[in-house]
Chains A and B, each alone.
Chain A
Amino acid sequence: MAKFAKKKDGDLPAVSTASLPDIVFMLLFFFMTVTTMKDSSLLVENTLPNASEIKKLEKKDRVIYIYVGKPTREYQKVFGTEPKIQLNDKFASIDEVGSYILAERAKKPQELQNVLTTALKVDKNANMGLIADIKQELRKVNALKVNYTTYEGNAFNNLQ
């Protein structure tokens, strides 16, 4: 009569872990799609222009960033809508650019101090006047290598 052997009592049924991989995969995909890292939070609008003849900006440790654009909406009440310069995490005026570059340069190791590049991340709707001023400041502190950071794409889309 022992055709159907009775299960032993007192044995908790194991929780099925079969769906665990699915859950983890879901998490994985979520992170893969969502992750966009930012070094500093942007206070300015920063839609970069497009260009096609571009080079990669390699070696992040050799780059100093300067952001330019008009303040984002939550700052517009205080700072207006004219394009402004953002250095690190705060707005700055044009005369602070030089000292910022020098300060950033001093932070880098000795052997990199001569090979630094300044990446200008400028909104495509900013005025050239401000950029010209920044370039003058950069020349004053001898930071001559610049990179006009752009998106890859057709430059015809720049004026829209």
Chain B
Amino acid sequence: MGRNREVPEINSGSMADIAFLLLIFFLVATTVQNDKGLIRKLPQKQNETLIDINERNVFRVVLNKENQLMVEGELLQIENLEEEVVNFLDNGGETGKCDYCMGSKSKDLSDSPSDAVISFKSDRKALYGKYVEVQDKFTKAYRILRSRESSRLYGMDFKSLEEEYAKPETTQEMREILKERIKTIREMYPMQISESELIFKS
């Protein structure tokens, strides 16, 4: 007696429908990958006023038309830029003004992060790619310092702080707290990059 031991075949007729559904989903849902980039805020138009900044609070970076970098009067390789910026920002030269700074308290570098200004000038013939690279290094320096402080104060680095804030599932109360924290950290190391001509009083 030949008993039928065959497993009944699965009906694959609806497979096509499933695949079609997927296809249509992808056709509809494909959007352009989100653009990413460096965010900057340009200064107001009427900003050509005299500012009273001490010379040592200015960190001068110049990009020439050969795409070379001059930092505080000396030629510098771009690999070392971020370290120099961190040293400059985190110096804390004026005692009592920045108790969280861990710099060398040198007399030639900034008083405190809130006084520190980076002056970045680029030649008109310099390449945009290099410009972005320099800007990237500045951002990185700030991010290192901000992350250090936010890990110390809140136990998480600055990026995850911001990500947590941006998450849709974060509750309203949590968001308020995070907002406050982000603001505190930002004020500890405010990003002050000037690309215009600095005019000194003296």
Contacts and interface: CB of A to CB of B under 8 A. Distances in A.
Most chain B Cβ neighbours within 10 Å, of A20, A49, A58, A145: A49
Contacts of B12: 18, 21
By secondary structure, the B interface counts as mixed
Number of chain A interface residues as a range: 35 or more
Contacts of B23: 24, 27-28, 31
A137 to B, nearest CB: 10
Given A35-B30, A55-B37, A144 B128 contact: no
Interface string A27-47: 110011001111100000000
Given A126-B127, A145-B39, A149-B36, A53 B143 contact: yes
Interface string B103-128: 00000000000000000001111111
Q: How large is the interface on B (under 10, 10 to 19, 20 to 34, 35 or more residues)?
A: 35 or more
Contacts of B16: 17, 20-21, 24
A69 B129 CA distance: 12
B7 interface: no
Interface string A116-160: 010101111111110110010011101111111111100110110
Interface of A: 17-18, 20-21, 24-25, 27-28, 31-32, 35-39, 49-58, 63, 68, 117, 119, 121-129, 131-132, 135, 138-140, 142-152, 155-156, 158-159
Interface of B: 12-13, 15-16, 18-20, 22-23, 26-27, 30-32, 34-45, 63, 67, 122-133, 135-137, 139-140, 143, 195
19 contacts: A24-B23, A28-B22, A35-B26, A49-B128, A50-B132, A51-B37, A51-B135, A54-B38, A55-B37, A119-B35, A128-B125, A128-B126, A128-B127, A139-B43, A142-B45, A145-B39, A145-B41, A147-B40, A159-B130
